[in-house]
């Protein structure tokens, strides 16, 4: 795990994403900020992420020239690490980690002076208020969130060089094998509402959707009606 030489752990912060950004003048990338709890954790599109003690919450700060497909790539090392504990873990495009129709984790990538990748995973935290739409690793196996944290970083370290050299394209096959709704008809909200059959992800992490008007290439968006509307994480 030589790549991530600087790892900073705090007990509580607003969000590891915001803290990582505020420290960009203090630490040289790549570095990782981990917090045991977050008071203002967030996911895609500013959605609140419940970040109670027992979960795994961290943000990586990286210096990457090209981040096209990085958020989809990052789901690969995370899934590899989690599969040691939960065999049925899958990915919902672009980068939600799921078991069935329940959310296990998510990834948020933002870019300013550096690339920041925030990760939140339900490990042993209390999800009783959202148990109809969320799931934890400890529901399947005994696990220590610190051990999982280092296992993810180790998996990522082994794969990151390949991503930097060749982008997402060499990970497409593994990603599509684990894509939860491949060959199913779905609706995606992006610049407009798309409806079609999922063909898989493309070489840059885009979703390929077979529609009445041909194959649509969608680079960002939300799969509609995958979770219940009461989703909070």
DSSP letters for 29-79: SSEEEEEEEESS-B-GGG-B----BTBEEEEEEE--S--TTHHHHHHHHHH
In this predicted structure, what is the pLDDT of residue 57? Answer: 96
What is the pTM for the complete model shown?
A: 0.92
First to last CA, the chain: 29
Q: Are 120 and 216 contained in the same domain?
A: no
| Domain encompassing residue 130 | 6-177
Q: What is the CATH number of the domain that holds 13?
A: 3.30.930.10
For position 66, what pLDDT does the model report?
A: 87
Residues 203, 115 share a domain: no
| pLDDT for position 230 | 38
3-class DSSP assignment, residue 231: coil
pLDDT at residue 216 in the model: 96
Q: Is residue 232 part of a domain?
A: no
Residue 233 lies in a domain: no
pLDDT tens, residue by residue, 61-91: 999 988 999 999 999 999 999 999 999 999 9
Same domain for 108 and 15: yes
pLDDT at 51: 73
Q: Is residue 231 a part of any domain in this protein?
A: no
> What tokens were used for 156?
């990522």
How high is the mean pLDDT in each 10-residue block of the chain (233 residues)? Answer: 88 94 95 93 63 91 93 97 96 94 94 94 91 92 94 97 96 97 93 95 97 94 74 40
Does residue 1 belong to any structural domain of this protein? no
- Say yes or no: 114 and 214 in one domain: no
């Amino acid at each position: 795990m030589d790549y991530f030489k600087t790892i900073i752990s705090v007990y509580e912060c607003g969000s590891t994403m915001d803290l990582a950004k505020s420290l960009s003048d203090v630490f040289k990338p790549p570095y990782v900020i981990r917090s045991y709890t977050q008071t203002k954790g967030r996911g895609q599109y500013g959605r609140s992420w419940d970040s109670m003690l027992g979960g795994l919450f961290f943000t990586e700060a990286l210096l990457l020239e090209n981040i096209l497909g990085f958020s989809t790539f990052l789901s690969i090392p995370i899934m590899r690490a989690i599969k040691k504990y939960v065999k049925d873990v899958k990915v919902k495009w672009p980068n939600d980690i799921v078991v069935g129709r329940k959310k296990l984790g998510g990834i948020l990538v933002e870019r300013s002076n550096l690339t920041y990748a925030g990760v939140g995973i339900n490990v042993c935290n209390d999800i009783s208020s959202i148990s109809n739409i969320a799931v934890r690793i400890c529901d399947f196996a005994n696990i220590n969130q610190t051990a999982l944290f280092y296992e993810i970083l180790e998996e990522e370290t082994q794969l990151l060089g390949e991503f930097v050299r060749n982008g997402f394209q060499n990970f497409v096959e593994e990603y599509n094998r684990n894509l939860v709704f491949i060959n199913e008809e779905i609706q995606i909200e992006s610049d407009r509402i798309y409806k079609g059959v999922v063909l898989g992800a493309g070489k840059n992490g885009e979703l390929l959707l077979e529609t009445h008007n041909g194959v649509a290439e969608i680079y960002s968006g939300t799969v509609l009606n995958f979770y219940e509307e009461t989703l909070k994480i």
